[in-house]
């Protein structure tokens, strides 16, 4: 009997720890978000973070979208060929990129790049007492460090996803026209005909939520870093992992919400 | 300008453990007091609790009678504004230039313009004996001693009345440590600030401080003038001195 009660106790402790962690991240996000609406604001930091999130993430997100679009055209063509539905390739590429793959893959790539960078930078600031120094200089660290990053991430990721959508569809176009003998104008016309504003908009809404989550996770783990270089390394890993999980979990909820699946 | 500092019944519990049980000491206006204690006795915790960086379970930190740890209020905020802090490693912001570090509080919390903050930062570089040519450099370009000086300049830029020094000479060679000591003593003398120094460096204590508070088992075990340090009669302090001197 003891092993059963011990096992249940461990499961309970793990669940409580999970909920406490979730609660701490949620509270951190709320505290930072509240500061977006009350002065003082730090526009210089916001602009620098937009450059980091958008401009410097463009190459990695663009390449990801390009190859995803190319693979999607190949794979969908292979599948549809079996029941003579090859004509649907443009629609499938466009819808998949705009609704799902664009925001999710861009989110995951940016989580790996910027979530890690934020956790490492803020973690290093934590262990070298720079965050404490901000407080003693009468500047709120949440307001100065976290709020501009959250705003920059929330606004930048939709822009990145918009670019990724275009590049991804172009990747599909290149394969379809160059390798699968599709008619170019027909591909474009099918994409324009089937892709609605709602498809694009839902992807952008997802991207904004993912950007917010990436910044909250990166900043939270950076702020919670401890124990020197090892602690910063752990914070960086935790930021990437929890950012990716948050993106995938929220993607399901958002898809259900936006497309009325449940 | 100077202010009286009074720490009363400060208690800090971390992870269910009493780190500080009942810390109390005071410093008269213009006085420099050293907070001594072995490793792990809670010196840094005391400092962080005084600065409000760690939550104190109980106690007060009064600056001229106003509790800086009281519930958020204009008076408590004003009391905290009178504090300046030199961190152990300098804690300069890596992404900012030296002048932006020194003028940080002026620019972001005191309503100075960038030009005014820069002018004041250059004056502070002079005051701590650093070349103005360093103003545009990044902290990583400076030596450890120069970073400490820049950190001191940052702490002094807003003319605080109470100064805290956290291990100011740790990691410095004896020559640089002596220079930092002389600079701290001169600064406190010139500004009239009340100062608290946390350190393991007894030579530094004897050069800079007038009084000592010795932290032992979560309380101040002994408090007295520096010249009575060797005759305290408090065995843990004597053991600490034998191990250190």
Q: Are B241 and B229 in contact (CB under 8 A)?
A: yes
Residues B179-208 pLDDT 10s:
888 888 888 888 889 999 998 888 899 999
Q: What is the reported pLDDT for A45?
A: 94
Q: Is the pLDDT of residue A1 over 50?
A: yes
Cβ distance of A130 and B52 shorter than 8 Å? no
Query: Which residues of chain B make contact with A42, given a CB cutoff of 8 A?
Result: 108
Predicted pLDDT of residue B168: 86
| B91 and A CB contact within 8 Å | yes
Q: Across residues B125-137, what is the average pLDDT?
A: 93
Spatial contact of B197 and B205, defined as CB atoms under 8 Å apart:
yes
Pseudo-torsion of CA B210, B231, B244, B11, nearest 10°? -70
Contact between B84 and A139 using a beta-carbon 8 Å cutoff:
no
A261 pLDDT higher than 60 = no
What is the predicted pLDDT for the residue at B244? 58
Amino acid B187: pLDDT: 84
| Nearest of B208, B209, B212, B207 to residue B222 by alpha carbon | B212
Whether pLDDT at B123 is above 80: yes
Q: Which residues of B touch A136 (CB under 8 A)?
A: 51, 53, 83-85
Q: What is the mean pLDDT of residues B19-46?
A: 91
Domains defined for chain B, CATH in brackets: 1-80+198-245 (3.40.50.300)
Mutate: best of B88, B91, B94, partner A, most A CBs <10 A: B91
Q: What residues does each domain of chain A span? A: 22-259
Distance to chain A for B106, nearest Cα, Å: 9
* Per-residue model confidence (pLDDT) at position A184: 93
In what order do the strands lie in the sheet containing B5-14? B66-67, B58-63, B5-14, B17-27, B219-225, B211-216, B32-36, B194-198, B162-166, B83-86
Q: What is the pLDDT of residue B40?
A: 84
Residues of chain B with Cβ-Cβ distance to A135 below 8 Å are: 51-53
CA angle A43, A154, A50 (to 5 degrees): 45
- Beta-bridge partner residues of B27: B5
**What number is the ipTM of this complex?**
0.89
The answer on pLDDT for B2 being more than 70 is no
Q: What residues form DSSP beta bridges with B213?
A: B35, B223
Closest CB to B53 among A42, A135, A138: A135
Only one residue has tokens 């001693």, namely B145
Mean pLDDT for all residues in chain A: 94
Task: State the pTM of this model.
Answer: 0.89
| pLDDT at residue B57, rounded to an integer | 92
Contacts 24+ apart (CB under 8 A), A11-20: none
- Contact with chain B for residue A43, Cβ under 8 A: no
Q: Is the pLDDT of residue A116 over 90?
A: yes
Task: Give dist(CA A259, CA B24) in Å, integer.
Answer: 63
Q: Which residue of A has its CA nearest to B164?
A: A136
Digit-coded pLDDT (tens) for B146-180? 998 999 899 989 888 999 999 888 877 888 888 88
- Tell me whether residues B87 and A124 touch, CB distance under 8 A: no
Output the CA torsion sign for A219, A60, A242, A96.
positive
Residues of chain A contacting B110 with CB distance shorter than 8 Å: 138
Structure tokens at A42: 């730090």
Arithmetic mean of pLDDT, B114-118 = 96
8 A C-beta contact, residue A109 and residue A61: yes
| pLDDT at residue A85, rounded to an integer | 85
Does residue B71 surpass a pLDDT of 90? Answer: no
What pLDDT is stored for residue A58 in this prediction?
96
For residue A60, cis peptide bond before it (omega within 30 degrees of 0):
no
B-chain CB neighbours of A125 within 8 Å are 93-94
Of B88, B93, B105, the CB nearest to A138: B105
Q: Give the pLDDT score at A262.
A: 45
């Amino acid at each position: 009997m003891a092993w059963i009660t011990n096992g249940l106790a461990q499961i309970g402790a793990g669940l409580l720890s999970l909920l406490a962690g979730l609660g701490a991240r949620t509270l951190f996000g709320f505290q930072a978000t509240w500061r977006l609406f009350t002065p003082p604001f730090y526009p210089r930091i916001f602009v620098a973070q937009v450059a980091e999130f958008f401009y410097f993430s463009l190459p990695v997100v663009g390449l990801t979208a390009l190859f995803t679009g190319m693979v999607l055209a190949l794979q969908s063509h292979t599948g549809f060929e079996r029941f003579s539905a090859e004509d649907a390739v443009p629609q499938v590429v466009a819808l998949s990129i705009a609704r799902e793959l664009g925001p999710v893959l861009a989110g995951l790539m940016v989580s790996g790049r910027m979530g890690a960078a934020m956790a490492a930078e803020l973690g290093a600031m934590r262990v070298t007492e720079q965050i404490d120094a901000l407080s003693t200089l009468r500047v709120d660290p949440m307001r100065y460090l976290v709020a501009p990053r959250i705003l920059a991430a929330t606004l930048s990721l939709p822009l990145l996803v918009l670019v990724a959508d275009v590049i991804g569809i172009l990747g599909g176009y290149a394969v379809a026209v160059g390798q699968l003998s599709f008619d170019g104008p027909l591909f474009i016309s099918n994409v324009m005909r089937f892709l609605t504003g709602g498809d694009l908009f839902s992807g952008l809404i997802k991207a904004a939520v993912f950007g917010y989550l990436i910044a909250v996770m990166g900043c939270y783990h950076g702020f919670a870093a401890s124990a020197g270089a090892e602690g910063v390394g752990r914070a960086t890993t935790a930021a990437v992992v929890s950012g990716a999980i948050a993106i995938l979990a929220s993607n399901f909820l958002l898809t259900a919400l936006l497309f009325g699946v449940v | 300008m100077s202010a009286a500092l009074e720490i009363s019944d400060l208690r800090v519990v971390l992870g269910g453990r009493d780190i500080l049980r009942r810390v109390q000491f005071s410093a008269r206006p213009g006085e420099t007091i050293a907070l001594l204690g072995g490793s792990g006795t809670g010196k840094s915790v005391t400092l962080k609790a005084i600065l409000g960086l760690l939550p104190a379970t109980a106690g007060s930190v009064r600056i001229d009678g106003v509790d800086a740890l009281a519930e958020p209020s204009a008076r408590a905020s004003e009391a905290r504004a009178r504090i300046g802090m030199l961190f152990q490693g300098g804690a300069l912001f890596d992404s900012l230039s030296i002048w932006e570090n020194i003028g940080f509080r002026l620019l972001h919390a005191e309503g100075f313009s960038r030009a005014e903050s820069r002018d004041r930062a250059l004056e502070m570089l002079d005051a701590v004996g650093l070349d103005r040519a360093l103003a545009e450099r990044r902290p990583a370009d400076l030596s450890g001693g120069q970073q400490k000086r820049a950190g001191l300049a940052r702490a002094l830029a807003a003319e605080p009345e109470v100064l805290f020094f956290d291990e100011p000479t740790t990691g410095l060679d004896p020559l640089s440590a002596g220079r930092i000591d002389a600079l701290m003593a001169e600064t406190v003398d010139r500004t009239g600030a009340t100062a608290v120094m946390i350190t393991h460096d007894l030579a530094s204590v004897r050069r800079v401080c007038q009084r000592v508070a010795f932290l032992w088992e979560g309380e101040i075990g002994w408090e007295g003038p520096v010249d009575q340090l060797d005759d305290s009669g408090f065995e843990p302090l004597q053991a600490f001195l034998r191990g250190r001197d």
